[in-house]
Every structure is written in C-alpha cells, then in structure tokens.
Structure 1
C-alpha cells in the first residue's frame, strides 16, 4: 500500500523531467501494468520526459522511445527503439546452417527446441534470411547478449 501511495505522489508532481528508479519494485503484475498505463495516459505528453531505470525491461519495452545500457558507469548502447529494431536481428537456424551462422559472428547463441537461435548486430537481413526465420529480438535478449560476461 505504501508503494502505491508513493507512486501516486510521484505522478502528482508536475515536472518536465520525471526520473523513476525501479518504480514498480514490490508491486504485483496487475499493479505494475496499471502503473505504466496510468503513467502514459495521465502524465506523459510532448512537453515531459520520463526516465525509467529498471531491470524489468520486458515490462516497459513496448512504451520506450529510447534505450540506454550502462555498464560500469559507461554507456554501452544508446539508441532509439526504431534503430534498435533495424540494427539487431535474431535468427532461428537449423543445424545444417549453424557453421554459416557462426561465420557471421553473432553476439550470442542459445538453443531453443533443438534449434540454435543467434543474435546479430548490424548484419544485413537479406544475408540472415538465407539461414532461417529472422525476427526482431526482445530488448532483454539484446541486453543479455551485449552485457554477457561483464558481471563474472
């Protein structure tokens, strides 16, 4: 209840820049979704900027206009969401094309249902289509691939 009260107070502030650090921590799924919906409907307009820091990127991916990854105090990725979708691609590759996929130097590789899924940065979609089904990766998958190994 106290968390919900704090969130209501934050949203009552009339500021041009609103900075929220893990704003839905401690809330169940229903309240988290309501919070972000209310934030967009009741607070956001063209005159305001909302900066959200969170580890729950899958919750807010659909409302983002820009994204920034920070590691050890340094910006490792900063781009708008449209550019992110153009830059990164994920391909589910059958075993016979695995060597060709690895030759294109993917950022990451993982196994799903007996096939390998590769995440690429900056590789032309046309090249990737020859390997398999090309999709837009989730923001969480891009985060994991770009940060992999930095916390070991």
Structure 2
C-alpha cells in the first residue's frame, strides 16, 4: 500500500524540523526537486535529484537558522490527490546571534507513489533578508 500524500508531507516536515537529512532525502523521488520561487540572494532557485538535495542540505542545514518548532500547521488536501498545500510558522533562532527567528511558509508539494516529485517552498523572504542584514552589519546597522 502506498503512503498517502498527506502522510508523506507530514513526514518530510518532521524530517526538516529535526534536520534528519537522510529521512528527508529518502522521501524525495530520485528526480524530484525543491524550488524556492521567492528567496534572498545566494539561495538557489531549484535543487534537482537526491544527490544535489543531499549536498545542499548537508552544507547548509543548521548553519544559519535552527528551527525548534512549527506552529499553526495546516495541511490542505486538494482535488488532485498528489498535491498537498501546507501552511505553517517556523520558530527558531539565528545561529550567529541566538536571536529568535520566525518564518512563515506556504509549500505546494506533489507526491507520487509515496515520494515527493516537487516541493515548492514559498517562504517569506523578508525575515531572511532582515536576519542576513543583522548578522552581517550587527545591531548598529554598521558593517563590522
């Protein structure tokens, strides 16, 4: 029996929050992709395939922001049984400063045969830009 799309999305959210890269990558289709349509400079627009996704997550996971919990998680099952839309707020902290960090996310995820084909992550880029600015310029707004 194939795992439902909703269950796969719940599993990938848990793997992401727990920074379980192996579990996250195992949920991806071999040719699946993750896409960030709205992102700050330096963040790739798309990662395709398990190897590229694993490399990126290994290099970046937990290096800038750590997330402790996801709140107000709402999963929307759609008329297309492969597609689930998820909304949530991610709460954590900036690694460099330990300051609290909140990110609002809406993701559109397509699942087929128990694996993620596409994961479009529509994060709000403004908190990321503000956090990047605060880390590079410091609390006074001056570089250095």
Decide: shared fold, TM above 0.5.
no
Structure index of larger Rg: 1
**Higher RCO (C-alpha under 8 Å, 6+ residues apart):** 2
Q: Which has the higher strand share?
A: 2
TM-score scaled by structure 2?
A: 0.23
